[in-house]
Structure 1
Amino acid sequence: MTPEVANPVAPVRKSLLWLVAVGFFMQTLDATIINTALPAMAVGLGVSPLRMQSVVVAYSLTMAMLIPASGWIADRFGTRRIFFSAIVLFVLGSVACALSQGLGQLVAARVVQGLGGALLLPVGRLALLRTVPRAEFLQAMSFVAIPGLIGPLLGPTLGGWLVQYASWHWIFLINVPVGLLGCIATLRFMPDIRGVALRRFDGAGYAMLAFGMVAISLALDGVAELGLRQVSVFVLLVFGFASLTAYWLQAARKPDPLFSPVLFKVPTLSIGLLGNLFSRLGSGCMPFLVPLLLQVSMGYSPLHAGLMMLPIAMAGMAMKRFTTPLITHFGYRRVLVANTALVGVTMGCFALTSPGQPVALHIVLLLCFGAVNSLQFTAMNTVTLRDLDSSMASSGNSLLSMVQMLAMSLGVAAASSVLGGYSGIFGSAAPIDTLHAFQATFATMGLITLASALIFWHLPPEARAVQPPQPEVSGHG
């Protein structure tokens, strides 16, 4: 890239990076605040804190449902209009959450939030894919993730403080001023990118895909909360997998499917998607489980539990600086195989925690998890998208976002089911009983993550991060 071209583009690209980072900030702030506040919300709503997963699942599942259509919507109406609308919808959903008077209303409001979030994240990433040079993409994604990690840095402590000294309703209103700033920035800096050749939307395929995801997620969630009997769970699972299978059979013979099977001819994308699904199935439950463990079984106050989540965010931010050099030197395969195993082992170590241990030991464990989890997410995301050409960028990006949110929904639902099962074994009458249930759950979910390391072994050994020149992005990273 010549200086004559780089200099005029630099300010616009910087502004776009910051704008997308605002979207990540809104997402991460909301996610971390609500996880810390779940026990207090359960008390206010009159339900068990171990049965609050529907608040998390409703949001992530809604995002997973709408994300498949996000690429087509962005190509049809333009990234600027959709990104702006997504922020508005997200803020309206936040206000509705704050005004909720019961669990049903709160879940419905979280669905509205999910509708906004489903468009916010993939459209922002799509704008980066189509404006940032390929050699700078990894570093751009790392830069965007750093401001996004400010949400986890502020969220747990701020959420704990609001819950302890005010009311849990206020944790959602924190999105309003951030959303207003995001709306202004979108109108000014977001490019209005549209698809060159707009294809026809695959409505039938979308219906089958969405139904399959909802059925499977409800089956897992039903074990923990809905009280569904084994027959009902089995029927939901069968219909869910049958619907997903029917979609892929139709996609193989349809000229313009929602997600073309041609995408899976790109090795890094197919392996990256499978790795995202199974590794996040385990690690995606950690933001839900850890605050519950600290408050329900270890006697932490909401504020203290929020402060204890700071090491995860701080280690995650610090690790971003080393992500590109590590992948450049060792390659994606070695980094992801080793790091996925480390994520699983670190999760399993939470099974050894108890109230009598030094707080410093818990902080070290949280720091370790935050570092390896941060490296995991950045490496998985970039290896999945790195080899897509411009014609595949929109659908590939939407597919990755859908898999991420689906894995988070399934992970929380699965962890809740596992936790409920162990609670039935150990009992839940005393804190020590719930502690044993939490310990067994962490060990189980850690093993699931550890097993997913085998998927990344199939990545091409030559796949490495392209070490970019020192562009204008590096000055902020």
Structure 2
Amino acid sequence: MLPALPRHLITPLIIATALFMENLDATVISTSLPAIAQDLGVDPIALKLALTSYLVSLAVFIPISGWMADRYGTRRVFRTAIAVFALGSLLCAFSSSLTGFVAARFVQGMGGAMMVPVGRLVILRGTPKQDLVRAMGYVTIPALLGPVLGPLLGGFISTYFHWRWIFLINLPIAALGLVLAGRHIANLRDAANPPLDKTGFLLTGLGLSLAMLGLATEGKHMLSVAWSSSLALSGLLLLALYPRHERHHPHPLLRLSLLRTPTFHASVLGGFLFRAGMGSTPFLLPLMLQLGLGMTPFESGLLTCSTAIGAIFMKTLMPRVLQRFGFRRIVIVNSLLCGVSFAAYGLFDASSPHWLMLATFLLGGCLRSLQFTSLNALAFADIRQQDMSHASTLSSVGQQLASGMGVTLAAFALQGVSALQGHATLQLSDFSWSFAIMGTLAMLSTLQFRRLPPGAGDNLATAKADS
């Protein structure tokens, strides 16, 4: 079927396949956490490290992905990213300890960090403008289908086979991607590529890694409290040195000065609080359904995939909702609705009907999709065209860090509540309080959104209406 298409449309399909593998893997692990924890002989809360390490790896390596593509060529970097992701998948499948599994997930994140932005760059540079919308449509498919199929596939494999197959199924997809990318993707470069900000990469990459590793290992997982605290403080110190470096470097890795733009500031910083609260979903929800309510991984996946279905449905209503209410009102009110709906997840017990749970998850998916899409668009409402690349990078890093922080904070909440209630093992009431805490965190983002000027982002809503 591929040869029947023009080459500039074959390329997006190849990239979409690779991105589907990455998106699927990012969600497939969530429903398998209890099974993985049992097999590795660790506390399920300890697997927060597996989720966090992947997200931190994305945040560290996304900023240099564009530079790498310009320096070494898009085809070479994209194929290398697929190979690294496949290696990480193989290491995950054969991990026998928590340390090995966390390290393997970090390697996976390195590949994923290169695949997504470089793949989009290939399409933007190699597709005629009249076919760009169609080409980008192919690339959005993985983002829509991955979160739907991931929980189902992960739950099915963990229930009826073995969780290690979750990672092994990536290998044939990666092999096919390597072959097709070698044949159909051009090795585009940019001769005007500025030198890499190596000091900035060291400060941010090492700083983020140490800070998040220190925070995520708190709670007697892998490292002692003294070591965890030392790592976290060292990472934060390195990050504190970056703003001064950024002000004096002609081509800084991350342009923090963009945060002076009110809409971008609200989207990144207010969005950080919101994404941290909602980013705990892949961690808290499957654990509650399986450990708290006794469901199988497959039953859990059948319910949790409804959040992704709700997100897809909301995308069809987005233009009309934005035109009717405007960005500012939506992000303020909807952050409160999302927080309340998320806290409501913790009200379910063994007697709750599945149809009610399904409807609640579906509604939660709709509300979160509305907020995420609004924040993503609002971030670039007042950014100049020449600053778009830097803004996109900084926004992407913030999103990945927020999701990682959400998992870490949710684990803290779960451990703290369980300890306060004197529970030796996790109980359903521990999850109830944890959902309430993370929902409240998401609602705190309203304080940032209220600072938005009236009419913020209206130019985007108008543009949508005109088109």
Using structure 2 for the length normalisation, give the TM-score: 0.88
Structure 2 residue ranges without an equivalent (≥5): none
- Match 2:464 to one of 454, 457, 467: 467
One-letter amino acid matched to 2:442: T
1:195-241 deviation line (CA, Å, top 9, x unaligned) = 46211111112111123212321232122343766665554444333
Aligned residue number for residue 319 of structure 2: 324
1:162 aligns with 2:142: no
Does residue 171 in structure 1 map to residue 166 in structure 2?
yes
Instruction: Compute the displacement of 1:125 (Å).
Output: 4.0
- Aligned counterparts of 2:415 and 2:129: Cα–Cα separation in 1: 45
**Residue 70 of structure 1 pairs with residue 65 of structure 2:** yes
Distance 1:182 1:413, change over 3 A: same
* 1:58–1:110 CA contact under 8 A, matched in 2: yes
Q: How many angstroms apart in 2 are the aligned matches of 1:209 and 1:351?
A: 36
- What's the % identity of the aligned pairs? 37
Are the equivalent residues in 1 in contact too, given 2:18–2:173 (CA < 8 A)? no
After superposition, residues 34-433 of structure 1 pair within 5 angstroms as: 34-127=29-122, 144-187=139-182, 190=185, 192-195=187-190, 197-226=192-221, 235-389=230-384, 391-429=386-424
Alpha-carbon distance between aligned partners in 2 of 1:80 and 1:376, rounded to the nearest angstrom: 34
Mapped partners of 2:434, 2:54: distance in 1: 22
Aligned CA distance change for structure 1 residues 99 and 237 (closer, same or farther; 3 Å): closer
- Aligned pair count reads 459
The structural deviation recorded for 1:409 is 1.4
Cα deviation, residue 147, structure 1: 3.5
| Aligned-pair CA distance for 1:309 | 1.4
**RMSD of aligned alpha carbons:** 3.0
**What's the CA shift for 1:60?**
1.2
Which protein, 1 or 2, shows the higher relative CO under an 8 Å CA cutoff with sep ≥ 6? 1
My pick for the range that moved more, 327-336 or 28-37, is 327-336
Tell me by how many angstroms 1:438 deviates.
0.8
**Cα offsets for 1:124-174 (capped at 9, x unmatched):** 344566678999999987874444221222221221121122111101122
Conserved 8 A contact 1:332-1:459: no
Distance in 1 separating the partners of 2:40 and 2:288:
20
Cα pair 1:66 1:115 within 8 Å, conserved: yes
Paired letter, 1:445: M
Deviates more, 1:260-269 or 1:107-116: 260-269
Take 1:256 and 1:79, find their aligned partners in 2: how far apart are those partners? 21
Aligned-partner Cα distance in 1 for 2:345–2:136: 29
Give the match's secondary structure for 1:148.
helix
1:80 positional shift: 3.1
- Matches of 1:459 and 1:184, distance apart in 2: 48
Instruction: Describe the SS at the equivalent of 1:223.
Output: coil
Tell me the equivalent position of 1:435: 428
Residues 1:266 and 1:448: Cα distance change in structure 2 (over 3 Å): same
Residue in structure 1 matching 2:440, options 411, 428, 447: 447
Contact 1:38 1:52 in 2 (8 A): yes
Q: Is the 8 A contact 1:86 1:119 kept in 2?
A: yes
SS across alignment from 2:288: helix
CA contact (8 A) 1:71 1:395 kept: no
Q: Given that residues 280 and 449 in structure 1 are in contact (C-alpha distance below 8 angstroms), is that contact kept between their aligned partners in structure 2?
A: yes
Question: What letter is aligned with 1:467?
Answer: K
Contact 2:155 2:297 in 1 (8 A): yes
Contact 1:212 1:243 in 2 (8 A): yes
Q: Give the distance between the partners of 1:133 and 1:454, measured in 2 at CA.
A: 43
Structure 2 counterpart of 1:276, one-letter code: G
How many Å separate the matches in 1 of 2:417 and 2:222?
16
Shift, 1:360, TM fit: 1.3
1:138–1:382 Cα contact (<8 Å) kept: no
Return closer, same or farther for 1:180/1:73 CA change in 2, 3 Å cut-off.
Answer: same
Q: Which moved more, 1:333-342 or 1:399-408?
A: 333-342
Unaligned runs of 5+ in 1: 1-9, 471-477
Query: Does 1:32 pair with 2:11?
Result: no
- Aligned-pair distance for 1:413? 1.2
